Every structure is written in structure tokens, then in C-alpha cells.
């Protein structure tokens, strides 16, 4: 990967984490084929184009595709053990790995979740989704 691409990649990553600080989900869209990525990618996986533009992902709800409960974690997350990490599929179709909040006994694949950013955390670890109480 050449230097220009590395710089572009770091710009996309920085924009993504800056977006989370502002409460925004920033993705990228391929201007060639229209594919949308979250987090943003500088290269389209579908058509290999590098003509990508940043865009806000406005979908804040989705479903839990899979999850795991972590009992032994890295030092920066010891205060929240045990915690849940899962893959969420947004209603707009993008899939993203995030912390999942909610009672562990209520976790199940397919459950509805909504965006819940943690202002106490920095960068990527700010991204969370919480289980939606379906009554």
C-alpha cells in the first residue's frame, strides 16, 4: 500500500472516531457502485473503486446478529466486566461490531437494538447498542 493510501485510510478512521465523539455514525459510500460501508472504507469491496465519499449513516436501529459475553478482558475494560460484544446489522444494512448493553439473560440473536453512545469512552469503544425492550 502506497503512502497516499495509508494517509487516506488514516483520514477515514479519524473521521469515523471523530464522528462518534459528535454522536454521528460516519460511513463511506462508493460513488461508482453505491455500496455503503461502516466504518468507512477507502476502497470498495464490491467494485474495488477508490472513489469513496464519507456520509452519515442515519439508521440508529438494527438487530443483533451474534454476540459473546466477555469475562476476562483487557485492562481498559476491567471496570465493565463481564461485558458483551456483538455484531449489529443496522436497518440500513451495514454490519458493525459494538458493545451491547442490556440484561444478559435477555440477549438473543435477532433481538432489536438501538444506538447508545457512551460519552465516558473515547474513540471506537464509545460505540454501543442497547437492547430495545420489546415488553
Burial classification of residue 37, based on how many CB atoms lie within 10 Å of its CB (0-12 exposed, 13-18 middle, 19 or more buried): buried
- Measured CA to CA, the distance from residue 38 to residue 99 in angstroms comes to 15
* Residue from the set 13, 15, 17, 35 that interacts with Zn ion by CB under 5 A: 35
List binders of Zn ion among 48-87 (CB under 5 A).
49
Residue whose CB is less far from Zn ion, 53 or 76: 53
Is residue 47 within the footprint of Zn ion (CB under 5 A)?
Answer: yes
Q: How many residues are there in the chain?
A: 135
Residue whose CB is less far from Zn ion, 28 or 113: 28
* Residue from the set 14, 33, 81, 109 that interacts with Zn ion by CB under 5 A: 33
* Binding segment toward Zn ion, per CB under 5 A, in 29-37, 58-66, 73-81, 126-134: 29-37
Distance between start and end Cα atoms, the chain: 50
Tell me the three cell numbers of residue 49: 473503486
Q: Least distance in Å: CB of 49 to Zn ion?
A: 5
**Other beta carbons within 10 Å of 100:** 24
Q: Least distance in Å: CB of 40 to Zn ion?
A: 13
Residue whose CB is less far from Zn ion, 42 or 86: 42
Residues 6 or more apart whose CB falls under 8 angstroms from that of 84 comprise: 67, 68, 69, 70, 99, 100, 101, 102, 104, 107
* Residue from the set 20, 26, 36, 44 that interacts with Zn ion by CB under 5 A: 44
Residues that bind Zn ion (CB under 5 A): 30, 32-33, 35, 44, 46-47, 49
Amino acid at each position: 500500500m502506497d503512502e497516499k493510501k495509508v494517509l487516506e485510510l488514516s483520514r477515514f478512521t479519524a473521521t469515523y472516531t471523530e464522528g462518534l465523539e459528535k454522536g454521528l455514525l460516519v460511513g463511506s459510500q462508493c460513488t461508482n457502485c453505491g455500496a455503503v460501508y461502516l466504518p468507512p472504507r477507502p476502497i470498495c469491496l464490491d467494485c474495488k473503486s477508490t472513489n469513496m465519499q464519507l456520509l452519515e449513516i442515519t439508521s440508529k436501529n438494527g438487530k443483533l446478529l451474534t454476540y459473546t459475553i466477555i469475562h476476562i478482558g483487557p485492562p481498559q475494560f476491567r471496570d465493565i466486566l463481564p461485558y458483551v460484544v456483538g455484531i449489529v446489522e443496522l436497518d440500513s444494512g451495514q454490519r458493525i461490531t459494538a458493545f451491547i448493553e442490556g440484561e444478559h439473560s435477555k440477549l438473543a440473536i435477532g433481538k432489536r437494538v438501538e444506538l447508545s453512545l457512551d460519552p465516558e469512552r473515547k474513540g471506537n469503544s464509545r460505540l454501543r447498542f442497547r437492547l430495545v425492550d420489546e415488553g
